[in-house]
A = this chain, B = another copy of it.
């Protein structure tokens, strides 16, 4: 079955927020066999919402709409939907009680705009939103389903998980789509493609292969479309095995997981611990690891040392090293990694120091110059990289490269 996602609101169109809701929804829908045909972001404009609904329902049977349900004047989704379906509005008592309760709990007066949050188009079934004041809405019209949800991510997520997904499974006889992701690191997209060209040419028609490169990591995604889940799984397993065998040295995982999760799983299995000494990545590596549930079984802690003094005090870097070779040098990064091993008593440590930019570069060490060291009790590997001149990208590329280097040391030390 095909679905489309429409997000309503000027904030995406002027670039003030990134549409992360749609990616999350797409993942959830894919998992139950719904393919997304298109994702569209349109403005808080009646005519534009109308045409987006019309186009989407011409291509898909399920239309999921987020946003534009707030209490303020720029939120017009509800009235536009009522007009689109040619119906009036009704007041939903459960939603009204919920709104009243929320305001009472926070000791706030209930305003007219808040009461109006309980008004919904007559032809909808209300999807009760226990996490906020704006209700979800389910419309079934001429064999098509339209679902409207708030744009606040956690409200949308709960509604999807608790109500929308179960209801979709009941309503539609869903086909199957299965994805198998192979995570590789260290080789470019075109080399991987060349190495498996014959396998790709012989893929059965129900299986599609896509390459998803990102910062030194390439994901190979095999997608199988059909009716028989077992048959699809078997077909995917055969192709996955062929590809992983061929690309053995580059394979990090055969799951769709981020690099940090592959590392966490590997180290957790081997009962190894990790610590971090971050200068130019400024806590980003620590954040990546600690975003994962269960991080604490591997990750002991990190030092974000932005100054010379902190590199000395928290990591025991020799002041002479710092003054003689500078904060961005092989000697310093080695001492940072070895210092982290000592400070945190961890089995492995990663240290990064560099010039993220936009300022701080010199002719010898331009912006984007980064030293990365990975260490365990046996050895310390240090490498120099030169990335670009965009701060955020330098932070992200450094973090990815540091994880690839750590994976290499983990493999060598097996």
Contacts and interface: CB of A to CB of B under 8 A. Distances in A.
A19 B18 contact: yes
A295 B12 CA distance: 27
Interface in A300-346: 300-307, 309-310, 313-314, 343-345
B27 A23 contact: no
Interface in A259-314: 276, 278, 281-287, 289-291, 293-296, 299-307, 309-310, 313-314
A168 interface: no
Given A283-B285, A285-B283, A293-B359, A19 B11 contact: no
Contacts of A15: 22-28, 30, 36
A308 B286 CA distance: 17
A98 interface: no
A329 to B, nearest CB: 18
A243 interface: no
A13 interface: yes
Interface in A127-177: 131, 152-154, 157
A213 interface: yes
Interface string A192-206: 011000001000000
A411 interface: no
A40 interface: yes
Contact of A314 (B17, B37, B314): B314
Contact of A74 (B211, B309, B314): B211
A215 B88 CA distance: 33
Interface in A67-116: 70-74, 108, 111, 113-114
Given A12-B39, A289-B282, A293-B357, A209 B74 contact: yes
Nearest to A292: B391
A43 to B, nearest CB: 7
A230 interface: no
A202 to B, nearest CB: 13
Interface in A373-396: 388, 390-393, 395
Given A282-B286, A282-B290, A208 B74 contact: yes
Contacts of A14: 26-27, 30, 36, 179, 221, 223
Taking residues whose C-beta sits less than 8 angstroms from the other chain, chain A's interface range is 35 or more
A125 interface: no
Contact of A38 (B52, B213, B302): B52
Nearest to A313: B343
A362 interface: no
Nearest to A394: B154
Contacts of A256: 16
Contacts of A114: 190
Given A11-B212, A55-B55, A291-B391, A18 B20 contact: yes
A391 B293 CA distance: 7
A246 interface: no
Nearest to A28: B15
> Which of A14, A26, A287, A388 has the largest count of B CB atoms less than 10 A from its CB?
A14
A193 B283 contact: no
A289 B114 CA distance: 35
Contacts of A314: 301, 303, 314, 343
